[in-house]
Amino acid sequence: MAAKFLLLGLLAVTCSIALASDPSPLQDFCVADPNSKVIVNGLVCKDPKLVQANDFFFSGLNIPGNTSNQLGSQVTPAMIAGLNTLGISVVRIDYAPMGVIPPHTHPRASEILTVLEGSLEVGFVTSNPGNRLISKVLHKGDVFVFPIGLIHFQRNIGHGNAVSISALSSQNPGVITIANAVFGSTPPISADILAKAFQVDKGIVARIELQF
Ligand SMILES: *[C@@H]1O[C@H](CO)[C@@H](O)[C@H](O)[C@H]1NC(C)=O
């Protein structure tokens, strides 16, 4: 009986590892060939003989992003062709005072965020039915994890600008921004569906939809 549980436990662990990140590469690297017309899971590999150091290199994450927008934040990804098939990526995020990265999820990646400057309030919400908010105030040097798929957010709560770096466990984490997806889809989700979902009248739904 104990052995059976151990086996089930091992199976569960093995399966969750297999599903929690991009598929493992079957070669040293597969630098993306942006010119290929072939569609595969990831991008087609450049001829390994033609691969250069610059295929694994990006310069510029020291440059602040432009936060002059409605959210007061900017995400700058390090664009690196050599990340193709490696299951990892990195972004810089800049926040103006009171700037927000609004509630969103990454369908294909967990995220580990490090604060380089300033102070952030961060949080994520667990799945139904608990929907527990796990949140914390972070300062320079603090690190926080957003588990794959869960809705999370960041807000600059300091007086100056804030900067963070996030590593993500996919070359292509994907982003679903909740407000935009729910209220700004094309075509829109029927107002009566959203009115029921949010327990408000359709006029309020229409007003929110106008913002997107
Ligand atoms: C930042 O973005 C705003 C709005 O798009 C633009 O007006 C401004 O010129 C940009 N600033 C810089 C330094 O690029």
How many residues in total does the chain contain? 212
Minimum CA distance residue for ligand 1 atom 4: 68
The Cα–Cα gap between 162 and 117 comes to 5
199 and 111 in a single domain? The answer is no
Q: Is 152 annotated as a binding residue?
A: yes
Domain count, the chain: 2
State which H helix or E strand residue 12 sits in.
helix 2-19
Assess if residue 31 is contained within a domain.
no
Q: Do 69 and 170 share a domain, yes or no?
A: yes
Adjacent-strand bridge partners of 105: 176
Looking at the fold, whether 121 and 208 belong to one and the same domain comes out as no
- Domain membership of residue 6 (yes or no) is no
Report how far residue 11's alpha carbon sits from residue 17's, in angstroms, rounded to the nearest whole number: 10
Q: What is the pLDDT along the chain (212 residues), one digit of tens a residue?
A: 455 544 445 444 444 445 557 888 888 899 999 899 888 888 899 999 999 999 999 999 999 999 999 999 999 999 999 999 999 999 999 999 999 999 999 999 999 999 999 999 999 999 999 999 999 999 999 999 999 999 999 999 999 999 999 999 999 999 999 999 999 999 999 999 999 999 999 999 999 999 88
Range of the structural domain that residue 114 is part of: 65-174
Q: Tell which residue, 141, 146, 151, has the closest CA to residue 119.
A: 141
Angle (CA) 68 69 74, round 5°: 80
pTM (predicted TM-score): 0.86
Give me ligand 1 centre to Cα 104, in Å: 24
Question: Which ligand 1 atom minimizes the distance to the CA of 69?
Answer: 4
Q: Are residues 170 and 201 in the same domain?
A: no
